[in-house]
Amino acid sequence: MNQCDDSFALVDALLADRTNLLEHRPTLCMEVGCGSGYVITSLALMLGQEAYGAYYIATDINPHAVRVTSETLQAHGVYADLITTEIASGLEKRLEGLVDVMVVNPPYVPTPEDEVGREGIASAWAGGENGRSVIDKILPIADKLMSDRGWLYMVTLTANNPSEICLQMREKGYASRIVVQRSTEEESLHVIKFWRDFDSQPVGNEMGTVNKIVPAGVIESLLSQVPGLSFWRYGNSNSR
C-alpha cells in the first residue's frame, strides 16, 4: 500500500460524508498525527465558510511534520493550531468532551515493537504487533476527548483486525461503519467512522446531549497554559 493512499482514502471518506459533516456543524475539529497536513487542510477547505466558527487543531510527535503541516495550511489559506506532542499528551483535561470531529491516520503497519515511536520517518507507519500498538493508545484518548456528538474517522488495515476495533469501541458505546474501503494485491484499507450510539438511551436529541460550546478564544487560552508543548499558529485566521 502506497503511504499516500491512506491519506487520500481518509480525505475521500470525509468528502463522501461532507453533507453530514456540514449538517453536524462541528465546533472543534482535531487531527491526531497530522503528517504532511494534507488531511486537516482538506477538512478545513471542504467545510470552509459553510462551517463558520469551526476551530481546527492538529498534533504530531514529529516537529518536522508540524512544520510541513504549517506550510500546507499556509499554502491553502486555511487556519489551524498545531502542537508537537504524542497523540494528545498534555491536552486531555483541557479538551475533554470538546472534539466534534477527530481524524486519525495512525501508524498501522505491523512491525517489531521496538520500531514503534522511533525518531525519523519510520514512526509514521510502524504500528508494532498487528499494527495495533498506537491505535490501541489512541482509542481511549479519542473516547475522552470527543463530545457527546463526536465523530471519529480512522484508517485501518485488515491486518489490524478492524472488526475487533469496532467491537472494542462498541463496548465503549460507539456505533461504527466503513465509509471507504480500498484494496490492493497486498492489503485492504478501511476508513471507519465511529460515533456515540444513544439509541438505547432516552435522549431528546438523536445526536445525544447538546454539544459543549467552545467560546472564541477559550481554546487559545487553554493551549497557551500547557507547559512544555510547542504551540504554533498558522494560516489565515480570517479564513476560519
Give tens-digit pLDDT for 163-221: 999 999 999 999 999 999 988 776 788 999 999 997 744 333 333 333 444 544 545 55
Residue 1, pLDDT above cutoff 70: no
Write out pLDDT tens, residues 203-217. Answer: 333 333 334 445 445
Q: What is the mean pLDDT of residues 80-104?
A: 95
Using one digit for the tens of pLDDT, what is the confidence trace for 36-57? Answer: 999 999 999 999 978 778 999 9
pTM over 0.75, yes/no:
yes
**Grid coordinates of 219:** 481554546
Cβ neighbors of 63 (< 8 A, separation 6 or more) are 84, 230
User: How long, in residues, is the chain?
Assistant: 240
DSSP 160-224: G-HHHHHHHHHHTTEEEEEEEEEE-SS-EEEEEEEEE--TTS--SSTT-SPPPP--TTHHHHHHH
Residue with the bigger pLDDT between 114 and 78: it is: 78
CB of 19 within 8 A of CB of 205?
no
pLDDT digit string (tens) for 127-164? 446 668 789 999 999 999 999 999 999 999 888 889 99
CB 169 within 8 A of CB 153: no
* Look-up of cell digits 481518509: 10
Task: Pull the grid cell for residue 157.
Answer: 488495515
Q: Residue 18: its pLDDT value, please? A: 95
pLDDT tens-digit map of 114-129: 444 445 444 444 444 6
What are the structural domains of the chain? 5-239 (3.40.50.150)
Instruction: Note the pLDDT of residue 221.
Output: 54
